[in-house]
Structure 1
Amino acid sequence: MADTALVVVDMLNAYRHRDAAPLSLNVATIIEPLAALLRRCRAASDVDLIYINDNYGDFTAGFAGIIAAALNGTRPDLVRPIAPAPGDRRMAKVRHSAFYATPLEHLLAQLGTRRLILTGQVTEQCILYTALDAYTRHLPVVIPVDAVAHIDAGLGAAALEMMRRNMAAELVTTVELADELSPRIDH
């Protein structure tokens, strides 16, 4: 158990939707920084790693089905480097916020989480709403800006500014975050 949890939001995506083209271009830019951060979290014991992903309305699919659908989608190259490893915590969600209708709040309480690092997609939607829900639960939020992807650049930038200004979110890079967390490993 650690006092910090890193949440990977909606990165298991088949990219077969209306906004897939602009989103996948932006996701491609965050894959390596996010993958490096995930490797760091798995190698250390000071961060709890949690994957939370939309079930895309398929209430028959377990998390293995969500992973399989993403790996069989149009951009498996954006999924393979950041896919959950055995032992990673996982849960499905049904709406924008990772807190809405999920056991996330209970899990974080059980883990003793006092700070939340949010990564994934989409900055102006699921990341923003999850940050707001964390803020209302008195959980400080950290956003590594090179580990979140947007659909619309202007809305993504506005969402980051809203999280910083209105929710006291700390905006950092993955390198700054990895340097802060101990023990230090190569990134």
Structure 2
Amino acid sequence: MTGDAALRPLGSSPRNRWQVDAARADLVRQPAPSRPIRVDAGNKEITLDLARTAIVVIDMQNDFCHPEGWLAHIGVDVTPARAPIEPLQKLLPALRAEDVPVIWLNWGNRPDRLNLSPALLHVYNGDGASVGLGDPLPESGAHVLELGSWSAATVDELVAEPGDIHVAKYRMSGFVDTPLDSILRNLDITTVLFAGVNADQCVLCTLQDANFRGYDTILLEDCSATTSPDFCMQATVYNVRQCFGFVVDSANLLAGLDEATGS
């Protein structure tokens, strides 16, 4: 019955939908044709399927990356956190052109902070009197990482396109208490590219949870960064390559795209 003109599509994504009418339900999904590309991952060559790949860009937000944001306010040098901006500016348009979903995974807390535990509120506010999650920044009054605030907005240099997907998170891992897993499965994604900050914290936690759920995981090294000491990035790269997936430079990914598409 697949392809019967009398049946109507039912599903939020063309990659995962039924065909139905009042009397019938055709549960056979139509798989997207594979679009393999080869990429140099340093220690080996990997082949991934663009038709089942998405990129998740994590926490490239004003509070983490802008010189007037939260981390800068508490004395953190945010220069390293801005390093992924330039390579992402080159990579994201190329991925969109190949119909690879772009997912922006950002902190976005409730104004009443009822989605935040004391353990989270304790981060950078150990004395309970400093500026922590949800508190107003003294200079701008923007509430730290609150959904809809300037603080939680993606930096101006990285512009989301209308077809991009936005997911708000409230933990170091973007899979906890969010729809991220459901979205990826509705898109029929098996391979996830990871970028953003901080590589050793939210990026790594989300990547690990993706690995635990059975996704193929690839850390884009030059599209990820951290304001932590250098050894934290070194340990992250080591552990991803050793235990959780692969580590790739965006230039090698772009080279694989060019080779596959004949660009």
Decide: shared fold, TM above 0.5.
Answer: yes
Of the three residues 60, 69, 72, the one matched with 2:151 is 69
SS at match of 2:148: helix
CA distance in 2, matches of 1:94, 1:171: 26
State yes or no: 1:49 paired with 2:49: no
Per the alignment, residue 10 of structure 1 pairs with 59
Q: Gaps (5+ residues) in structure 1? A: 72-77
Overall identity of the aligned pairs, in %? 29
State yes or no: 1:92 paired with 2:168: yes
RMSD: 2.5
Q: Deviations over 1:82-127 (max 9, x none)?
A: 1322221001000001111110111111000010000000011011
TM-score (norm 1): 0.82
Of the three residues 234, 237, 258, the one matched with 1:157 is 234
Q: What does 1:1-187 correspond to in 2, within 5 Å? A: 2-14=51-63, 15-17=69-71, 21-22=76-77, 24-45=78-99, 47-56=100-109, 58=111, 65-66=148-149, 68-70=150-152, 79-152=155-228, 153-167=230-244, 169-181=245-257, 182-183=260-261
TM-score (norm 2): 0.60
CA distance in 1, matches of 2:224, 2:75: 15
Query: Does the aligned pair in 2 maintain the 1:121–1:150 contact within 8 Å?
Result: yes
Compared CA separation, residues 184 and 90, structure 1 to 2 (3 A): farther
How many equivalent pairs are there? 174
Higher relative contact order (CA 8 A, sep 6+): 1
CA distance in 2, matches of 1:106, 1:83: 24
Amino acid at match of 2:108: N
Amino acid at match of 1:98: G
Larger Rg: 2
